[in-house]
Amino acid sequence: MSRFPTAWRECVGTGRMELALRRDHQDSLALVQREIGFRHIRGHGLFSDGMGIHRPFVYAGQRHVRHSFTYLDQVVDAYLEQGIRPFLELGFMPSGLASGDQTVFWWGGNVTPPASHTEWADLIGATLRHLISRYGIDEVREWPIEVWNEPNLPQFWQDADADAYHHLYEVSAHAVKDVDASLQVGGPAISPGDDKWLETFAAFVSRHDVPIDFVSRHAYTSGPARHVPFGVHQSLAPASALLDQFALPRKQLAGTPLGGLPVHITEFNSSYRPDNPVHDTAFHAAYLAPVLAGGGDLCDSFAYWTFSDMFEEEGVPTALFHGGFGLLTHRQIKKPIFHLYAFLARLAPEFVSRGPDHLITADDSGRITVLAWAPVDHTDAANSPATHHVLLSVPAPGPALFLLRSSVDDERGNAWSAWREMGRPHSPSPRQVDMLREAAEPARVHRSVQVTDGRVEIEIVLARHEVTLLELTPVVDETPPWWNDSRLVSGEEP
């Protein structure tokens, strides 16, 4: 048997980096790491003013720059304490270095090129040297370094100017390698929609012999946003469109000097909006289940955007459930998509088989795990099948197995459904929060199953939008020969 790819857990997204200073962010990350265990975390705003790294000042009539790492140290310390490493994104532009005043997001990330590329390179170099001094070169070599975010969109890079981005990348990559040649640098972190960008970027770095250790892009499947107050509605393409986007870089770069490089999908989700209620639903978990099951065949990592609803690109959320990207709401209420990831984290490591509605893994102890999901109608969730049957025959050690099944669907393990039934309270009371946490836990059932001729036959009946995990472990019967459960309330002698 081969190992099941773990590209799904190699990285996860967060909001801007300074959010890691807040208690709710830290509590949420601790829960995610305890039950899922991601390996890297990527967020915006490393060099934005909120992190306070680039600090120009005037002394004796001369302009100087101090590089301050007060917040950066606290953020990275908080990450490493939770067993997760940074996936550094070089951006956005500090206001004291920016060539213009165009910004993105409620919190104002500057998206203009540097007024001085020399000073930009100095900023990168000083930051990396500080991180190496604090955490050691062997540690920092494990942190991929990505240049900017979605420069093919004018919202994120002034005029979406490819030539200007190529120059920024060239300066940035050399600044990284000047610190240590073994540090990992890459890009271009493009948004879906203009796939030629990667090809022109690859041609530029190849022609100019610019350092590059990985390529990156993003993947989403939602259509244009139809706005309502404090939210949006969007159409969705089939989930297979995400897998097509994951596969595209290797196809585009085959036969080029970049053809063998690792591919990182540094953001993915259904909707690119942080206020689309689809993110809170069981539909969303079932929709993404085949992507998580199969994405590792196509790329080296794909980072769910994001682990928490602590996210302020469109402002401070106005309700507990507001369509945020997160696996968790504020106050650590688990969404169905959280459980999809937690189920994956509990899978046995060895790949057995995969189908359009299930994934089977096992380990050397005889433990078997099955992740199964109901098919969805991506055009209208109400038209998804009410039930779906999965029939499996799996090699298994005998004579019996203990089966534990954990499930989430439109009703079970679904805090969003409970919140709607509560009347959609904007600011739930402490007791309501406790009830929502309880409602968010998966439904669990268990039983013994018999092994016949070295196989176990399993029929899984899935409810609409259900995602379920079956864990089967060999039974070693240690019941004493004198014990008889039928005599629990009997005083008679055997």
d(CA 166, CA 70): 31
Q: Are residues 274 and 407 in the same domain?
A: no
- In terms of domains, do 156 and 300 share one? yes
Residue 158 exposure: Cα atoms within 13 Å on the Cβ side: 18
Cα separation of 330 and 309, whole Å? 6
pLDDT at res. 268? 98
Catalytic residue among 89, 146, 150, 471: 150
Last residue of a domain, one of 326, 346, 366: 346
> Bridge-partner residues for 93, per DSSP?
110
- pLDDT, tens only, 30-67: 999 999 999 999 999 999 999 999 999 999 999 999 99
Domain check: are 227 and 340 in the same one?
A: yes
At 491 the pLDDT is 63
Residues 290 and 365 both lie in one domain:
no
Q: Are residues 342 and 261 in the same domain?
A: yes
Q: At CA 37, angle to CA 354 and CA 277, rounded to 5?
A: 75
pLDDT of res. 492: 67
Residue 171: which CATH number?
A: 3.20.20.80
Is the same domain home to 211 and 358?
Answer: no
Choosing from 285, 318, 346, the residue where a domain stops is: 346
150 is catalytic: yes
Rg (CA), the chain: 25
Looking at the structure, tell me whether residues 164 and 16 fall in a common domain. Answer: yes
CA distance 176 to 158: 23
Report, as ranges of residue numbers, the positions in the chain whose pLDDT lies below 50.
none
Indicate whether 66 and 203 sit together in one domain.
yes
Residue 485: inside a domain, yes or no? no
The residue range of the domain holding 290 is 7-346
pLDDT of residue 245: 97
Counted residue by residue, the chain has a size of 494
> Is 445 inside a domain boundary?
yes
Provide the domain count of the chain: 2
- Do residue 91 and residue 38 come from a single domain? yes
Residues 360 and 436 in one domain: yes
Same domain? For 117 and 248 the reply is: yes
d(CA 158, CA 152): 9
What's 437's domain CATH number?
2.60.40.1500
CA 323 to chain centroid, in Å, comes to: 16
Beta-ladder partners of 456: 394
Residue 234 within a domain: yes
- Asked if the structure places residue 246 within a domain, the reply is yes
Question: What's residue 488's pLDDT?
Answer: 83
Q: Is residue 484 part of a domain?
A: no
Kindly state whether residues 151 and 99 are assigned to the same domain. Answer: yes
Residues paired with 5 in a beta bridge: none
